[in-house]
A = this chain, B = another copy of it.
């Protein structure tokens, strides 16, 4: 269990970006929706069909420059089981194009139930002796509020595979401090305590490049905490949301990276997905080309502060 495969893809593409795929109907060009609604009506099935077409177009244009995608489960669940089917097919398509898939589910539960989530998103489901992948991602975001019981099953299932998890430490939203910034009697904050648990959970899982398969989510909107956590958690790889639409810039992400320019992957969802809506006079059929242009701009923006990524 490690992030070696992800790190190799980042270095190969010299791009520490993950493209968030959080599809809302409002982000999808009209010509795609029209075609799907003609087939299935304005139904959950029609929406799911439009999402899949939209995602495939994006993946096709991004796969040679962006190492990973991060589909956000909520936007698929919103379209029912039909949306979850689009999620499974999006993941399958991205993997067929060589991309690393981080399923953003922030799942959490007690041991036996967490095992079911681990199987669902990172493992293989057993059906009375036959095996089938349910969603087949490469990494899953999780919430560590329940402690070790909720993390151990993931580690057991991911072991010996280059799969990983990202545990929420300091999230990018404005109210994240209500709990996460509070200090315990020993002077440690909740987010640092959670980070230290990540370091501990990943203790025996260090990969070739010094990082374990237990990563942490730390928002670009809190650059000082990002820098603090990088220093305190040398073996924990970071998933960094908050760049772009949420207000974080490349400079804010800098602290997440080590001296070799690795140690983190930065997410952009709306910035990349909705780039086409910001280019004046663009034919909506070129939505994925606009996403590609934004992904290249973001790559160069991040590289300008990180420098070369080396392993």
**Chain A residues within CB distance 8 Å of chain B:** 22, 24-25, 33, 37, 41-44, 46-47, 72, 74-75, 77-85, 87-88, 106-111, 113-114, 116-117, 119-121, 125-130, 132-135, 143-150, 168, 171-180, 182-185, 190, 193-194, 197, 241
**In the bound complex, do residue B74 and residue A81 qualify as a contact, i.e. CB atoms below 8 Å apart?**
no
Contact of A176 among B25, B146, B176, B241 (CB under 8 A): B146
What residues on B are CB-neighbors of A127 within 8 Å? 25, 42-44, 46-47, 79
**In the bound complex, do residue A147 and residue B173 qualify as a contact, i.e. CB atoms below 8 Å apart?**
yes
**In the bound complex, do residue A77 and residue B110 qualify as a contact, i.e. CB atoms below 8 Å apart?**
no
What residues on B are CB-neighbors of A135 within 8 Å? 77, 80
**A144–B81 Cα gap in the complex (Å)?**
25
**A146–B145 Cα gap in the complex (Å)?**
11
**A197–B177 Cα gap in the complex (Å)?**
13
Closest Cβ of chain B: how far from A197's Cβ, in Å? 7
Supplied contacts A47-B127, A108-B168, A110-B172, 11 more A-B pairs, CB within 8 Å: A77-B84, A77-B117, A77-B120, A79-B134, A106-B108, A106-B109, A110-B241, A147-B176, A149-B173, A150-B175, A184-B185
Contact of A42 among B22, B129, B185 (CB under 8 A): B129
What residues on B are CB-neighbors of A146 within 8 Å? 168, 171, 173, 175-176, 179
**A42–B117 Cα gap in the complex (Å)?**
20
**A127–B108 Cα gap in the complex (Å)?**
29
Beta-carbon nearest neighbor of A34 in chain B: B128
20 contacts between A and B (CB under 8 A): A25-B126, A42-B130, A43-B127, A74-B107, A74-B113, A74-B116, A77-B134, A80-B125, A106-B109, A108-B143, A108-B168, A143-B143, A145-B179, A147-B175, A147-B179, A147-B180, A149-B173, A178-B197, A179-B193, A182-B184
**Contacts A25-B127, A81-B85 given: A74-B117 contact, CB under 8 Å?**
yes
Contact of A125 among B44, B84, B144, B149 (CB under 8 A): B44
What residues on B are CB-neighbors of A145 within 8 Å? 143, 145, 168, 171, 179-180
What residues on B are CB-neighbors of A109 within 8 Å? 72, 74, 106
**A9–B277 Cα gap in the complex (Å)?**
49
